[in-house]
Amino acid sequence: MVVLLLLLPLVYNGFGAIYLSGVAAIGVLLAYEHWLVRPDDLSRVIRAFFHVNAVVSLGLLAVGVMDLLW
């Protein structure tokens, strides 16, 4: 996913540094999401799936809009 997000500016030239910094933050959040859930402990699946994915999706929207407006 992160690789595809990094390739998006090659298709659409409107994205720049703000977008790329947001993609880096999203990469960190996705790594955190995978770190939260262990094969032997699935008690944190709800936090990992719903909460972190909500932050990722809203964060991607926010950096995309900010980058397009500036």
Question: Which letter does DSSP use for residue 1 in this model?
Answer: -
> What is the rounded CA–CA span in Å between residue 9 and residue 17?
10
Alpha carbon dihedral 24, 29, 35, 39, in 10-degree steps, equals -120
Q: How many CB atoms lie within 10 A of CB 15?
A: 19
Per-residue pLDDT of 3-36, as tens digits, reads 999 999 999 888 999 999 999 999 999 999 888 8
Residue 20's closest CA among 33, 7, 6?
6
Query: Higher model confidence: residue 56 or residue 42?
Result: 56
- Asked whether the beta carbons of 27 and 2 are under 8 A apart, the reply is yes
| pLDDT number for residue 43 | 82
| pLDDT number for residue 69 | 92
| pLDDT number for residue 37 | 84
Per-residue pLDDT of 51-69, as tens digits, reads 888 999 999 999 999 999 9
